Amino acid sequence: MAVFTAVTLDDLTQWMEQFPLGQAVALQGIASGIENSNFFLTTERGEYVLTVFENLDFDQLPFYVHLMRHLAERGIPVPAPVANAAGDLVVALHGKPAAIVSKLEGSSQMDPQPVHCAAMGAMLARMHLAALDFPLHQPNLRGLDWWQATMPQVLPYLSPGNAELLRSEVAFQAAFAAGETYPQLQRGPVHADLFRNNVMFVGERLTGCFDFYFAGVDAWLFDLAVTVNDWCIDLASGALDTARVDALLDAYRAVRPFTGAEEASWQPMLRAAALRFWLSRLYDFYVPRAAEMLTPHDPTHFERILRDRIATPAPRLAHQE
Ligand SMILES: Nc1ncnc2c1ncn2[C@@H]1O[C@H](COP(=O)(O)OP(=O)(O)O)[C@@H](O)[C@H]1O
Ligand SMILES: N[C@@H](CCOP(=O)(O)O)C(=O)O
């Protein structure tokens, strides 16, 4: 279902000549994924993934693909985009932007244990540090401005209780962002969608993360909160699982210690990360777009998480100076 643009080996015969990969010898559509057309591509030089971008234009892609290349060059396990003879990382295929990236080994770990969370925490901290000198800039396009612009579009569909929750949380986050602590948070390019389905493992070894198409510049703590809210929870209740939280935070802190401002912002950031995905899921659920391709995720999952993060004191980040 996730191949929206049909591509055949014949289509690639001439197209591949611009890449230093030899001829394409096998091409297989990837069934999972909901945004783009993805293919496993075997060439004379090895195994790759070909993506035809269905929703992003040529001018929207440089931040994402150059960030992936920047991280890959610094040893962070992410798919490395392959440049063509002209140095381009994004090239037209059937009139749409397309890219070839290296294929990661392994599969997603959908039942993560503390050992997997520790691997995630260490990789995330390394990724944040490695992206610090990335020269391109794009804000997180799913940040506060987007929350404020999107809220009025979903409010008419919500129960009075949920409408009040959404209004009060967006107001809380706006006040927090305007306060003294928020500007002190460490910032840089972040992935911003590091859910379990976007990370690969072979056994306990993390082999890489992909799907950088929500990346942007934001607080590192926001990225950490997005990750913890997906990797370290009891799926039924949304509550945090202490053993997995500790494993992830300990591993992150060992690479990049937290600051006092981050300690003070942890609970608001856990709430912000829950709000971000509650709102995007509400939007995808209630506001279908033209050329709709998304299969909406369940918004109530993040409503539960947001209510829990508001009601329950956050675990300590235990910063070290
Ligand atoms: N670089 C890669 N290496 C290995 N598998 C990949 C890679 N990129 C994508 N995939 C596979 O393709 C699937 C769909 O990719 P994803 O980025 O989630 O698609 P979409 O953007 O359409 O949601 C993933 O679940 C994964 O199995
Ligand atoms: N992780 C988000 C939606 C984005 O989906 P992805 O498959 O592209 O990572 C969510 O769960 O709402």
**214 CA from centroid of ligand 1 (Å):** 14
pTM value surpassing 0.90: yes
Nearest protein Cα to ligand 1, atom 21 = 35
DSSP string, 69-104: HHHHHTT--SPPBPP-TTS-S-EEETTEEEEEEEPP
* pLDDT, tens digit (0-9, with 9 covering 90-100), for 33-67: 778 899 999 999 999 999 999 889 999 999 999 99
User: What does the pLDDT read at residue 296?
Assistant: 77
* pLDDT, tens digit (0-9, with 9 covering 90-100), for 85-144: 999 999 999 999 999 999 999 999 999 999 999 999 999 999 999 999 999 999 999 999
**193 CA from centroid of ligand 2 (Å):** 7
Q: 31 pLDDT band (50/70/90 cuts)?
A: confident
User: What does the pLDDT read at residue 1?
Assistant: 43
User: Which residues, judged by CB distance below 6 Å to any ligand atom, belong to the binding site of ligand 1?
Assistant: 2, 30, 32-36, 38, 49, 79, 101, 103-104, 197, 210-211
Q: Domains in the chain, ordered, with CATH? A: 9-102 (3.30.200.20), 114-311 (3.90.1200.10)
User: What does the pLDDT read at residue 55?
Assistant: 86
User: What does the pLDDT read at residue 320?
Assistant: 43
Least confident of 83-87, 224-228, 287-291: 287-291
Answer whether 277 contacts ligand 2 (Cβ < 6 A). yes
Residue 242 exposed, middle or buried by CB count within 10 Å (0-12, 13-18, 19+): exposed
* CA dist., res. 73 & res. 80, Å (int): 8
Answer whether 211 contacts ligand 2 (Cβ < 6 A). yes
Answer whether 230 contacts ligand 2 (Cβ < 6 A). no
Residue among 193, 201, 188 nearest 74 (CA): 188
**61 CA from centroid of ligand 1 (Å):** 16
Mean residue pLDDT across the chain: 94
User: What does the pLDDT read at residue 85?
Assistant: 97
CA of 33, closest atom in ligand 2: 7
CA of 277, closest atom in ligand 2: 12
User: What does the pLDDT read at residue 294?
Assistant: 59
Alpha helix stretches (DSSP H) within the chain? 9-15, 62-73, 114-131, 144-154, 160-178, 220-231, 242-255, 260-286, 299-311
First to last CA, the chain: 50
29, pLDDT greater than 70 = yes
Collapsed DSSP state (helix, strand, coil) of residue 108: coil
* pLDDT, tens digit (0-9, with 9 covering 90-100), for 146-200: 999 999 999 999 999 999 999 999 999 999 999 999 999 999 999 999 999 999 9
- Indicate the DSSP class of residue 142: T
CA of 284, closest atom in ligand 2: 12
Residue among 79, 20, 69 nearest 48 (CA): 79
- The letter for the amino acid at 151 is M
Mutate-to-test residue for ligand 2 from 297, 303, 304, highest number of ligand atoms within 8 A of CB: 297
Query: Which tokens belong to 148?
Result: 């404020």
CA of 211, closest atom in ligand 1: 17
User: What does the pLDDT read at residue 146?
Assistant: 98
**209 CA from centroid of ligand 1 (Å):** 9
Mean pLDDT to the nearest integer, 270-280: 98
Q: 289 pLDDT band (50/70/90 cuts)?
A: low
Residue 141 exposed, middle or buried by CB count within 10 Å (0-12, 13-18, 19+): middle
Collapsed DSSP state (helix, strand, coil) of residue 152: helix
319, pLDDT greater than 60 = no
